[in-house]
Amino acid sequence: MRLCLLTLLLLALPLAAQDLDKLTREVNEKYAALAADDVAGRHELAKWCAARKMRRSETRLYREIIKLAPDDAVARKALGHVQDNGVWYESEDAVQHARGKTRLLQGWGDAADGLKPAHDHWLTDEQLKQLEAGEALRAHKGRGWHEVLTREYRVYSELKESDTLDMARMLELAVRQWRAEIDKPYEAGKNWTLHVRILKSRDAYVAMIKDDIETFDQGLAKSHGFFDGRACWGGWFDSAYRTRRIFLHEARHQFDLLVAGTFRHMPAWYREGIAEFHSVHEWDGKALKMGVLNSKTNEHLHFLQRICKRKKLKGAEAQIQGGWEGDIDPEFYQQAWAFMYYLRTTHAEGFAKFEAELLAGKLDDPAKRLEAFKKHVAEDPKAFDKGYLDQTTKWADSYGG
């Protein structure tokens, strides 16, 4: 999962690369010393990896053990395998499939005519109609977790069922609004399942990251959420509003990569700015409005007061010519949000033209982006900056009002 992980806050320096490299060299040396059929040695090395939170290496060793000793219960259980009538299976799902059962909405059953696939479940026409209508449906559940389906999302959650249903409905409305914005309609059977993973708490989220140094960038423990290229991850954070904000932000990255296909053309200020723009929202359980100022709750405004007083607000040229990675710190997100909100609310027509060229991949270097900005948005960036600073200062001063 070591992709370009997209986070909501500053990523502190992760476990030093040289430290992980040292551990990797050490485990490789220990592994090279094992005989090809040494089960006991692999068990010991797996324990060594577990003590150092090298989960990927630990898993590799246990997989090798069950090839050498298929009935090794310790290795099987470490891999999460389950036994049924004396036979080991990789998961409870595998047990059900071996029994000839099909995953239905809320359980397992025999295959039946008329059922259609959706998110690895087989649903009735009525259930599919409910999803199409925007409903979120309760699906499978276990001890401490459950899943919810919408037309586009499969949400696995450790939150209360009511909170998960609320989150799922909101995300479904968001993706439908995003689709409408770019005129990309949903086509049944031709779309990605958009996966979301919600942990029960911030502590659980941090523990997940810190418990696996080979899979997760340890700097993510300083973040609130991330998108790994397939699923959005996060946990309950302080309040329902802030938790929704995290998932709207990461879901926007997911949409840009998997649905719109525009992610690769986005410089950092746009990528994070558009995600933050949509994350500031109003939601009453039925209607969703994204891209709002929200002076009472938008913490960007509080920090922008400080930025403006320090005269550190980035002007158009500095923003537009920023690279694909950028310096991703808390202030970066505040600046990116302010720039995006200003452009979309005060220069909407010109910015839309600039945006279209950007997302089509036509502005692949800073000079091209600046030229297009001058053509479509503001011929004189300095004059633009004055208006931008004045308006941003007014918005920042409205915080809490």
**Helix or strand run (H / E) with residue 227:** strand 225-227
* Amino acid of residue 283: W
Mean pLDDT per block of 10 residues along the chain (401 residues) reads 36 56 95 97 97 96 98 97 96 94 94 89 96 97 95 97 97 98 92 96 95 90 92 95 97 98 94 96 96 90 90 92 73 93 96 97 93 96 95 90 66
Closest alpha carbon to 279 in 312, 317, 322, 234: 234
What are the tokens at 261? 């296909």
Q: Return the biggest CA–CA distance within the chain.
A: 76
What pLDDT score was predicted for residue 385? Answer: 95
How many degrees, rounded to 5, is the angle at CA 392 between CA 338 and CA 254? 10
What pLDDT score was predicted for residue 88? Answer: 97
What pLDDT score was predicted for residue 7? Answer: 38
Closest alpha carbon to 288 in 256, 244, 250, 249: 244
CA distance 170 to 159: 15
Indicate the angle between helix axes 240-254 and 268-279, nearest 10 degrees.
140
* Amino acid of residue 342: Y
What pLDDT score was predicted for residue 8? Answer: 37
Q: Are 277 and 291 in contact (CB under 8 A)?
A: yes
CB atoms within 10 A of CB 121: 20
What are the tokens at 236? 């309950």
Pairing type for strands 194-199 and 153-157 reads parallel
Closest alpha carbon to 248 in 170, 158, 155: 170
This prediction has a pTM of: 0.91
Q: Compute the CA torsion angle 380, 385, 391, 392 (nearest 10 deg).
A: 150
225 exposure class (CB count in 10 Å sphere: 0-12, 13-18, 19+): buried
Bridge partners of residue 174, in order along the sequence? none
Q: Are 234 and 224 in contact (CB under 8 A)?
A: yes
What are the tokens at 150? 């919408």
274 exposure class (CB count in 10 Å sphere: 0-12, 13-18, 19+): buried
DSSP-H helix ranges across 259-380: 268-279, 299-309, 316-320, 330-346, 348-359, 366-376
CA distance 371 to 334: 25
How distant, in Å, are the alpha carbons of 46, 92, 173 from that of 74? 11, 17, 45
CA distance 306 to 340: 19
